[in-house]
Amino acid sequence: MYEFVDRAVRILKKIVPEPVVRPLRPLYHRMLAFLMALWYGFPARKLTIIGVTGTKGKSTVTDLIYATLLDNGYAVAAASTIRFAIKDRSEPNLFKMTMPGRGFIQDFFARAVRAGCTHAVVEITSESTRDFRHLFLDLDALVFTNLQKEHLESHGSFEKYAEAKMKIGGQLAASAKRPRAIIANADDSASAPYLALPVEKKIPFSYADAKKVVLSPGRVAFAFRGVRFSLQLPGSFNVMNALAAALAAQCAGLPLEKSAAALAKLERVPGRTERIDTGQNFQVVVDYAHTPDSLAALYAAYPGRKICVLGNTGGGRDAWKRPEMGRIADETCETVILTNEDPYDEDLRAIVLAMAAGMKRAPLIIMDRREAIRAALAAARPGDAVLISGKGTDPFIMGAKGSKIPWSDAAVVREELERLLEKF
């Protein structure tokens, strides 16, 4: 049914004028959300659903929960910016959106139920609430990671962005499941309304909950409630991500000790501080880092000499952050290379120059992203960190008039590293 609806809507969009559609859009999305859930038999009611929302870290937390439950024998599905997975079968998310519309998520849940899944972890964005895709998710638990400035043009203001996020919390409160749990980052002031939700379990977590924290290149370790956690992921932000994942898994019945054992086995989260190693004597990391805070956190996780490649996430949106991200890179990286990312219909050079306006030093500007990556790798010395941010697992570079070029930062890095190593 999802495929039929998707094709029908694409045809109607070409026929029906936009001014006719616009006032009917809210009603259409509400009705579609209900009808697709009805068609598939409300599959979320047959699963334990753990939702994850926030600005930063939600894709990583979703993946950590999925990996933890899967490693411990749970029949679990996951839907996120990174991937769609049912049990141990996974495919990359190629939609350029976290939660595709037109009933996709209900179709996904139905497929998970047919495959014998008992649990599902789903990343939920503020953008999905505008089209009512967050309805009929029948949440058992919700993880709130944090709230930072993002999607301001899209929502109209930071306050409206926060309101859109809070609609997801409202869906947890409205869920008929029992008991319901909210797991929220208490270090973020925006967690207060989430922890005030009328649900049975309110589980705040804080960085201070992690004891004996050890941060080292490419790893974090800490103790939590007497259990030692060690992850092959860098940075203090991954301490918080691990806490959120372990507490969510605990709500699903998994003891902390088993979560710690599962997380210790995890070698990477695709596109999230993902290490690329082909035998070179320096570090290369691919990361999404799409906000100033996440960019600063990424850079802080890698002390020492850094060569940084970045663009700016999405032409036509969040222009306010361009000079700020340029400033952060200028202040923390030995070499800054500005490049193409997703200009859409905006002038690429204008985006890059807006980033350069926040910098005191003149950056190296290489518009071709592959050439920019190649230059960064060629400039690296032993012990350096080459940090390539902005795309993560994004499968396309988006250009004007809907054009898109297939892309993978990780794949390009591997190809260029192999070429570089062949020279020696």
Domain boundary, last residue among 236, 265, 294: 265
Q: Same structural domain for residues 240 and 95?
A: yes
pLDDT, one tens digit per residue, over 330-349 is 999 999 999 999 999 999 99
Which has more confidence, 27 or 114? Answer: 114
In percent, how much of the chain has pLDDT > 70?
95
Q: Half-sphere exposure of 30 toward its Cβ, with a 13 Å CA cutoff?
A: 4
**Same domain flag for 254 and 281:** no
Domain boundary among 217, 235, 265: 265
Which residues form the domain of 281?
A: 274-422
**Full-model pTM:** 0.93
Reduced to 3 states, what is the DSSP secondary structure of residue 96? coil
Query: What is the distance between the alpha carbons of residues 234 and 283, in angstroms, rounded to a whole number?
Result: 12
Token pair, residue 183, equals 């797991």
Question: Residue for token digits 């029949």?
Answer: 75
217 and 319 share one domain? no
Decide which of 235, 265, 295 is a domain's last residue.
265
- Identify whether the C-beta of residue 376 lies closer than 8 Å to the C-beta of residue 335: yes
Distances (CA, A) of 381 to 305, 361, 385: 9, 21, 9
Which residues are within 8 A (CB) of 340 and not within 5 positions of it... i.e. 6 or more apart?
311, 348, 367, 368, 369, 372, 397
The CATH number of whichever domain residue 214 belongs to comes to 3.40.1190.10
Express each pLDDT in 11-64 by its tens digit: 756 676 666 567 667 787 889 999 999 999 999 999 999 999 999 999 999 999
Query: Both ends of the chain: CA-CA distance in Å?
Result: 55
Per-residue pLDDT averaged across 126-149, rounded?
A: 94
Short-list 95, 105, 152, CA closest to 126: 152
Classify 116 in phi/psi space as left (phi over 0), alpha (psi -120 to 50) or beta.
left
CA-CA distance, 342 to 332, in Å (whole number)?
24
